[in-house]
Structure 1
Amino acid sequence: MPITLPDTLPAYRALSDEGVMVMAAGRARNQDIRPLRIALLNLMPKKIQTETQFARLIGATPLQIELHLIRMTEHQAKTTNAAHMDEFYRPFADVRDQKYDGLIITGAPIEHLPYSEVTYWDELKQVMDWTQTNVHATFGVCWGGMAMISHFHGVDKHMLGEKAFGCFKHRNLDPTSPYLRGFSDEFVIPVSRWTEIREPEIEAAPGLRTLLGSDQVGPCLVEDPTHRALYIFNHFEYDSDTLKDEYDRDAANGKPVKVPRNYYPDDNPANAPLNRWRSHAHLLYGNWISEVYLTTPFDETLIGQQSTDLRT
């Protein structure tokens, strides 16, 4: 089954051109199926690029999915056309009475700020608490995952001496996890962040379990069954050239930036980067969607009222 998107959303055309199955909303309404309602709280400045990246991953399953785009109520996007935001996004204040099978909270380029100094932090705390009553499963990505693990468990982020930037080898720490079905023992994941979450602090928080980790850049994927959540601190969703775009941007602006590690062939920016994480990206998000499908109530009104653990 395809992912359902408005046929005027840029991601619709981009994914259609890639061969991803997409369906316009009108056609989807004629099918006698309850689609999964997945919301994307998009905190990234490049909204359209981020929409496409996540729609690509959650749309590559046999299930019909409705993707709903959400923004913070008062925060105004500065780098995305206002008409795009008005047409495709709904503020959180307008959807807080809705129920969703899944929610993805993206990263945001505000790592250097204490959470309390983020302009929309108070509302984001409301969103995170709202997931416990109105969302069946939540996936926090990079800064979004760090914000969630801090809010629910007091596990704080720490500044790095230099940016973790490149494609780093990771290990499968829990091969029996349903979220890691089909995963290799080792693989690479794109990383681009100035902060880290430390494994001893995760281990000290009751109920958390690290599923993926790296000897070079630390824990990556953490499961939080009590809050029906996954937290990932790196970027499986990145396109092949996302790290290249970041590197080229900073180099052009005269910022001190190192070549992303283990990304370009021979670590030479003159060479086209190779995508070595795409298959595992589809595995992870496909496994997450499958777990949501297997455990979410058919009656949407029961979302948030059942067991806090997806597996009980």
Structure 2
Amino acid sequence: MPVRIPDNLPAAEILESENIFVMSETRAANQDIRPMRVLVLNLMPNKIETETQLLRLLGNTPLQVDVDLLRIHDKASKHTSIDHMNTFYRDFEAVKSKNYDGLIITGAPLGQLDFEDVVYWEHIKEIIDWSQQHVTSVLFLCWAAHAGLFHLYDLHRKLLDEKRSGVFCHRRSTKPHPLLRGFDDEFFAPHSRFAEMNVADIKQHPDLEVLAESEQAGAYIVLSRNSRNLFVMGHPEYQKSTLKDEYLRDLEQGLEPSVPTHYFRNDDPSQEAIARWHSHGSLLVSNWLNYYVYQLTPYDLSDMSGRTPWESKS
């Protein structure tokens, strides 16, 4: 089924060339079905690249998904034109009275800052708090996962001596779990971050469950016990070249980055990058949309007002 996006969004042409079914708002207006409504808070600098990555995953499911793009502020972006932002993005004031089936909060290049030092931290907290009453399930990615665990569960991250960048092997929980249906015992996922959460601290928290972790990269998939919040510490949405692009960018800026681990063939940056996470990324988002959004959300989103969808089903 298609993912519905605004007319003329640049990602449409890229996705259509990959045979990913997208539908314009104009065409979708004639569809007599109840699509899933997903809000994306895009905190990454290159908005169009991140839009395309996420829409690629959302478009690879059997559900029709309507996507709204949300920005954290209306200041000019260094990597995305103001015309694009004004045309396709909404401000929080325009959506906060609405309810959504799902919310995705992306990573952000803020890994070395304390949360309280982030210029828009108060706004991030406001959106996270709002989501707990207005969204069936929230998917936090990378930096957003750390931010969500800190704000909602008072868990603190640890800054690393150097950036953790690469593709790491993870082991899933042996316990049967809807989110892990179809997962192999071990799978790969990319990471690109300056901090990590202590796995033991997460496991000791009564409201959280670790579903997948890595000996090298730590906790990867963490789910709240009430199924509302899903924290993914890495970047399942990354395309094949993303880690390479980040590595070359850091080199150009004179940062002397380490070569991303287990990413280039023979760990040699002059050789081909190897993508080993696309199938897992698609499965993770498909399972989230199916089991934690579609299966739990009320048909009429107005039923969500003032109570959680789980309370409304009890």
**Which band: TM-score by shorter chain?**
over 0.9
| Preserved CA contact (<8 Å) 2:60 2:286 | yes
How many angstroms apart in 1 are the aligned matches of 2:71 and 2:283? 27
| CA separation of 1:155 and 1:110: change in aligned 2, threshold 3 A | same
Task: Using the TM superposition, give the Cα deviation of residue 227 of structure 1 relative to its aligned residue in structure 2, in angstroms.
Answer: 6.5
Alignment deviations for residues 15-40 of structure 1 (CA, whole Å, 9 cap, x no partner): 00111001111111111101100010
The answer to whether the 8 Å contact 1:15/1:22 transfers is yes
Alignment partner, residue 118 of structure 1: 118
Q: 2 CA distance for matches of 1:311 and 1:219?
A: 31
- TM-score, length of structure 2 as denominator length: 0.96
Deviates more, 1:69-78 or 1:177-186: 69-78
Per-residue CA deviations over 1:119-172 (Å, capped at 9, x if unaligned) read 111111110110111111100000111111111110011101221111111101
Per the TM alignment, residue 253 of structure 1 is displaced from its structure 2 partner at its CA by 2.2
Q: Answer yes or no: is the 8 Å Cα contact 1:228–1:309 preserved in 2.
A: no
Counterparts of residues 171-190 of structure 1 (less than 5 Å): 171-190=171-190
> Shift of residue 50 of structure 1?
0.4
Query: How far apart are the structure 2 equivalents of 1:202 and 1:145?
Result: 12
Contact 2:133 2:308 in 1 (8 A): no
Kept in 2, the 8 Å contact 1:132–1:227? The answer is no
CA deviations on 1:287-308 (whole Å, 9 max, x unpaired) are 0110211110001101252454
Give, in whole Å, the separation in 2 of the partners of 1:191 and 1:244.
12
Counterparts of 1:233 and 1:310 in 2: how far apart (Å)? 30
Aligned to 2:193: 193
Instruction: Write the deviation string for residues 88-129 of structure 1: whole angstroms up to 9, x where unpaired.
Output: 000112111011000000011011111111111111111011
d(CA) in 1 for partners of 2:228 and 2:209?
12
* Letter paired with 2:113: L
Distance 1:250 1:40 in 2: 27
Identical-residue share of aligned pairs (%): 42
Shift of 1:174: 4.3
Aligned equivalents of 1:179, 1:136: Cα separation in 2: 15
Pair 1:266-2:259 in alignment: no
Residues 1:139 and 2:149 aligned together: no
Alignment of 1:26-65 (within 5 A): 26-65=26-65
- 1:5 counterpart letter in structure 2: I
CA RMSD of aligned residues (A): 1.6
1:175 touches 1:181 (CA, 8 Å); kept in 2?
Answer: no
Correspondence list, 1:196-211, <5 A: 196-211=196-211
SS in 1 for 2:55: helix
Give the Å deviation of 1:310. Answer: 10
The CA deviation at 1:311 is: 9.3
Tell me the equivalent position of 1:219.
219
Normalised by the size of structure 1, how large is the TM-score? 0.96
What's the counterpart of residue 81 of structure 2? 81
Structure 1 residues 297 and 172, CA gap change in structure 2 (3 angstroms): same
The residue number in structure 2 matching 1:239 is: 239
User: In 2 relative to 1, CA 175–264 (structure 1 residues): closer, same or farther, beyond 3 Å?
Assistant: farther
In structure 2, how many angstroms separate the alpha carbons of the residues matched to 1:254 and 1:29? Answer: 50
- Matched with 2:280 is 280
- List gaps (5 residues or longer) in structure 2: none
Q: Which segments of structure 1 move beyond 4 Å, counting only runs of 4 or more?
A: 307-312
Q: Which amino acid aligns with 1:28?
A: A
Letter in 2 for 1:68: D
Q: Runs of 5+ in structure 1 lacking a partner? A: none
Aligned in 2, Cα 1:184/1:310: closer, same or farther, shift over 3 Å? Answer: farther
For 2:295, the equivalent position in structure 1 comes to 294
